[in-house]
Structure 1
Amino acid sequence: MTERATDQVSEPAAGPGPGRGAGAGGGSDAPGDPVAAGSGAAGPASAAGAAALLNEAMSKSGLLWVEVDGDRTWPAWHVWDDGAALVVSGPGEQPLPWLPPEVRLILRSKDTGGRLLTVRAHVHVLEPGTPEWERATGLLRASRLNSVDDSLTRWAAECTVTALVPFDSPLESPGAYAAHDHRQPPARTAATTTAWRPWHWGGRGEEKAARKRARDELKAARRAAKERAKLRKKRQRRGARRRGR
Structure 2
Amino acid sequence: MTSAVLDEALKKAAVAWVSVGDGPALGIWCMPLEGSLIVVSGPGEQYAPGLADASRATVRLRGDNGGLIVVSDVAVTRLVPGSEEWATVAPQLAQKRLNASGTADEVVARWAETGCAVVRLTPSEQDVTTAPDLPADSGAAAPRETPARIETRRPYRLHRVRKN
Q: Which TM bucket (shorter chain)?
A: 0.7 to 0.9
1:176-187 maps to which residues of 2 (within 5 A)?
Answer: 176-187=133-144
1:65-104 maps to which residues of 2 (within 5 A)?
Answer: 65-99=17-51, 100-104=54-58
Give the aligned CA root-mean-square deviation in angstroms.
Answer: 2.1
**Displacement, 1:114?**
0.7
Distance 1:114 1:93 in 2: 26
Q: Is the 8 A contact 2:78 2:117 kept in 1?
A: yes
1:40-119 maps to which residues of 2 (within 5 A)?
Answer: 49-99=1-51, 100-109=54-63, 111-119=64-72
- Tell me the amino acid that sits aligned with residue 188 of structure 1: E
Distance 2:19 2:37 in 1: 14
For residue 121 of structure 1, what is the aligned residue in structure 2? 74
Q: Is the 8 A contact 1:121 1:164 kept in 2?
A: yes
SS in 2 for 1:207: coil
Q: Deviations over 1:92-135 (max 9, x none)?
A: 211101132111100001x2111010001011111101011122
The runs of 5 or more residues in structure 1 that have no matched partner are 1-48, 198-203, 213-245
Q: Please report the TM-score for the alignment, with normalisation by the length of structure 2.
A: 0.83
Higher helix share: 1
Cα 1:188–1:151 shift into 2, 3 Å: farther
For residue 207 of structure 1, what is the aligned residue in structure 2? 156
The runs of 5 or more residues in structure 2 that have no matched partner are none
- Tell me the amino acid that sits aligned with residue 8 of structure 2: E
1:1-245 maps to which residues of 2 (within 5 A)?
Answer: 49-99=1-51, 100-109=54-63, 111-149=64-102, 150-158=106-114, 159-193=116-150, 205-208=154-157
- State the identity as a percent: 31
Cα 1:182–1:61 shift into 2, 3 Å: same
SS in 2 for 1:136: helix
Q: Is the 8 A contact 1:172 1:178 kept in 2?
A: no
Q: Please report the TM-score for the alignment, with normalisation by the length of structure 1.
A: 0.57
Q: Is the 8 A contact 1:117 1:170 kept in 2?
A: no
SS in 2 for 1:88: strand
**Displacement, 1:170?**
4.4
Distance 2:91 2:20 in 1: 27
**Displacement, 1:83?**
2.1
For these two proteins, the number of residue pairs brought into alignment is 153
Distance 2:31 2:24 in 1: 22
Higher strand share: 2
Distance 2:139 2:150 in 1: 30
For residue 221 of structure 1, what is the aligned residue in structure 2? none
Q: Is the 8 A contact 2:13 2:32 kept in 1?
A: no
SS in 1 for 2:38: strand
Larger Rg belongs to: 1
